[in-house]
């Protein structure tokens, strides 16, 4: 293992230890509350990246799956009369499955379009879901929202802990799926679609099936995270779960960290979500954090338009090059070199 | 025996008849050239054969089964590969990854598996060596020269061992030295049993390489035969030089 490899491994292990022990290190609810939302966005951004980053299809409507997951769990708990406690967590995969089913329907239609049209179609579907949640009053309670039972015997410092581990588990699951896909033939097909979809079709990649699969996997993960969110906040309203800001936040985190990279969404979420929450606590419930968001993105777009992870990789590569440059002087585009993966080494 | 048979194929774009009941066949083991003035429908025929455009009439038969109506990915899977005008490769994937995208894998398990790259990578490297571009295996497509892209595109198409390869202007925009190399590769692959159908404007390239030439004009086939016969056909001279 070379030096960067070792640094990477140490950083990963460190991060994992901190993530696992966090409720012990900092048990106060104010901190664990931030940790719940941060783990949530690590998962959301990573899940979104499977479609948006690998396949290049930018969906701004993933909040549709978040909301559907949230409502699914709320309705399941109400209709099945499940007692609060650990039981509701077991129904989270069902919410994910329902989100996946919705994604098959939406994807079937939306994936007939490409580029900007796809972006707009996904936004439209998200608002359709929001409208449905508002208007199917008999099912969803409409604008009045829907309450979920909450465990009364969990208290004080412990209350947030189960939610934190549930979110962490889903984030790790999303990362595992993302890592797996990236190294598979399926993942290579997705990257080929991102680069040139017609060319991919010409060399035998079943592009429609691949795109739909990536979309559904991404949606299922987002749906499960939405379900845990609903159980955590105990009361959901259409405009706060089918929330365009949730859909956009996960996208912005991916762009900040690095689109199409494995670690980029994690970096983006770890930086942005705690900062945003701190900002919201300091300046009250104002929308000032949106100003912060735009400031962050202006800086990113101006200084490192491809996000933190690819820019950092370039920097490391550039610093190492003077020593490592071989006599052959192979042309390697630094702009694109960040995309090379282990697969590339012959 | 003909490997590919196009029968009364037609395609209209609005009021323009791009391909007008065109019939041609490509003999197994041959290098067949498809020539004609600009706008005569050659590339449209390619797009119809490879499933990128739906046809308006006629039939396309490959190994005596109809492939009309199938999608491009299915047609590639059946053994027809193609290259594009102006070499299309995946710019953000490395040359080696470009080679691995076309590898066929059947079944969900194989698609999702991690550890089966061994012999596929080996074959990809062999193919890159055959094209004499193995030194750029780790370089991303976007950083390759135009000539390297042309060679990479051809190499990648060969990865799934297609029986028929359609080349759209293989000599377009390349220098004479590279032209000679490309012609050599096509001959060598043809020697290994691969059949080629190519669209090309460079006449000496076509006349030297092809066993059979088909001439199109305004969507119709106006002549076919050996290069020598076609070259002396008055209709062909008319089409190219104008009467």
CA distances from B135 to A340, B146, B174, B184 (A): 16, 15, 20, 20
* Among B73, B101, B144, beta carbon nearest to A188: B101
> Per the domain annotation, does A290 fall within a domain?
no
Given pLDDT bands bounded at 50, 70 and 90, which one contains residue A331? Answer: very low
| The residue to which tokens 């409507």 are assigned | A61
Given pLDDT bands bounded at 50, 70 and 90, which one contains residue B234? Answer: confident
Range of the structural domain that residue A236 is part of = 28-242
Residues A31, A22: Cα–Cα separation, whole Å:
9
Highest mean pLDDT among A215-229, A269-283, B217-231: A215-229
Contact B32, B197 (CB under 8 A): yes
> Per the domain annotation, does A169 fall within a domain?
yes
Do A192 and B93 make contact, defined as CB atoms within 8 angstroms? yes
* Among B71, B113, B143, beta carbon nearest to A184: B113
DSSP H helices, A136-182, are 137-140, 160-182
Give the relative orientation of helices A63-80 and A244-257 as an angle to the nearest 10 degrees: 130
Tokens of A221: 């993960």
Residues from chain A that touch B89, judged by Cβ atoms under 8 A, are: 196, 199
Do A339 and B121 make contact, defined as CB atoms within 8 angstroms? no
State residue B243's pLDDT score: 46
Tokens of A216: 């559904």
β partners of residue B10: B57
Residues A148, A163: Cα–Cα separation, whole Å:
14
Residue of B nearest to A191 (CA): B93
Is A185 near chain B, with CB under 8 Å?
yes
Angle (CA) A224 A228 A229, round 5°: 110
Residues A285, A281: Cα–Cα separation, whole Å:
7
> Per the domain annotation, does A218 fall within a domain?
yes
Residues from chain B that touch A201, judged by Cβ atoms under 8 A, are: 52, 71-73
pLDDT in tens, A204-245: 999 999 999 999 999 999 999 999 999 999 999 999 999 999
Q: Structurally, how many domains does chain A consist of?
A: 1
Segment B75-92 shows an average pLDDT of 94
Segment B181-200 shows an average pLDDT of 95
> Per the domain annotation, does A278 fall within a domain?
no
> Per the domain annotation, does A149 fall within a domain?
yes
What does chain A come to in residues? 346
pLDDT in tens, A132-148: 999 999 999 888 899 99
> Per the domain annotation, does A257 fall within a domain?
no
> Per the domain annotation, does A37 fall within a domain?
yes
State residue A285's pLDDT score: 64
Residue of A232, A243, A92 lying closest to A170 (CA atoms): A92
Contact A50, A218 (CB under 8 A): yes
Given pLDDT bands bounded at 50, 70 and 90, which one contains residue A1? Answer: low
- Alpha carbon B115 to its chain centroid, in Å, reads 32
* CA dihedral of residues B41, B45, B46, B51 (deg, nearest 10): 140
Handedness of CA A59, A61, A67, A69 (dihedral sign): negative
Q: What is the ipTM of this complex?
A: 0.91
Segment B91-98 shows an average pLDDT of 95
> Per the domain annotation, does A146 fall within a domain?
yes
Which SS3 state, helix, strand or coil, does residue B167 take?
Answer: strand
Given pLDDT bands bounded at 50, 70 and 90, which one contains residue A329? Answer: very low
């Amino acid at each position: 293992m070379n030096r960067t490899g070792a640094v990477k491994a140490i950083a990963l292990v460190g991060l994992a230890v901190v993530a696992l022990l966090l409720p012990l290190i900092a048990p106060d609810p104010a901190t664990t509350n931030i940790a719940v939302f941060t783990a949530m966005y690590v998962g959301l951004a990573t899940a979104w990246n499977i479609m948006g980053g690998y396949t290049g299809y930018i969906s701004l409507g993933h909040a549709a799956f978040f909301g559907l997951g949230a409502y699914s769990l709320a309705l399941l708990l109400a209709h099945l009369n499940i007692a609060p406690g650990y039981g509701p967590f077991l129904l989270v995969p069902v919410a994910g499955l329902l989100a996946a089913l919705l994604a098959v329907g939406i994807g079937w239609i939306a994936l007939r379009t490409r580029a900007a049209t796809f972006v707009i179609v996904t936004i439209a579907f998200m608002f359709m879901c929001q409208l449905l949640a508002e208007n199917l009053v008999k099912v969803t309670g409409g604008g009045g929202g829907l309450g979920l039972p909450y465990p009364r015997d969990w208290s004080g410092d412990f209350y947030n802990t189960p939610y934190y581990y549930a979110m962490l588990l889903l984030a790790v699951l999303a990362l595992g799926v993302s890592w797996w896909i990236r190294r598979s033939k399926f993942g290579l097909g997705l990257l080929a679609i991102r680069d040139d979809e017609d060319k991919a079709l010409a060399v035998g990649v079943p592009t429609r099936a691949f795109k739909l699969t990536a979309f559904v996997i991404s949606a299922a993960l987002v749906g499960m995270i939405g379900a845990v969110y609903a159980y955590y906040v105990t009361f959901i309203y259409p405009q706060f779960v089918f929330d365009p800001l949730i859909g956009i936040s996960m996208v912005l985190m991916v762009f900040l960290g690095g689109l199409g990279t494995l670690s980029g969404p994690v970096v983006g979420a770890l930086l942005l979500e705690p900062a945003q929450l701190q900002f919201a606590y300091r300046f009250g419930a104002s929308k000032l954090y949106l100003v912060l968001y735009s400031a962050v993105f202006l800086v990113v777009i101006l200084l490192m338009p491809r996000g933190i992870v690819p820019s950092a990789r370039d920097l490391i590569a550039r610093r190492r090059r003077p020593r490592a440059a071989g006599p052959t002087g192979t042309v390697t585009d630094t702009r694109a070199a960040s995309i090379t993966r282990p697969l590339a080494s012959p | 025996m003909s490997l590919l048979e196009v029968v009364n194929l037609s395609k209209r774009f609005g009021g323009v008849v791009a391909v007008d009941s065109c019939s041609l066949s490509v003999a197994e083991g041959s290098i067949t050239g498809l020539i004609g003035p600009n706008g005569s429908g050659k590339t449209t025929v390619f797009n119809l054969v490879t499933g990128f455009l739906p046809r308006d009439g006629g039939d396309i038969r490959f190994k005596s089964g109809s492939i009309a109506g199938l999608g491009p990915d299915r047609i590639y899977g059946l053994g027809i590969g193609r290259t594009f005008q102006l070499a299309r490769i995946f710019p953000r994937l490395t040359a080696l990854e470009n080679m691995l995208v076309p590898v066929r894998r059947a079944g969900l398990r194989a698609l999702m598996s991690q550890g089966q790259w061994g012999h596929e990578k080996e074959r990809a490297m062999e193919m890159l060596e055959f094209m004499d571009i193995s030194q750029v295996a780790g370089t991303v497509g976007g950083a390759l020269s135009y000539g390297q892209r042309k060679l990479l595109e051809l190499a990648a198409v060969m990865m799934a061992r297609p029986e028929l390869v359609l080349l759209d202007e293989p000599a377009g925009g390349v220098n004479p030295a590279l032209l000679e190399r490309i012609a050599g590769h096509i001959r060598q692959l043809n020697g290994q049993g691969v059949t080629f159908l190519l669209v090309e404007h460079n006449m000496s390239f076509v006349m030297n390489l092809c066993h059979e030439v088909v001439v199109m004009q305004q969507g119709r086939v106006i002549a076919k035969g050996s290069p020598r016969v076609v070259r002396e056909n008055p209709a062909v001279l008319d089409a190219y030089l104008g009467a």
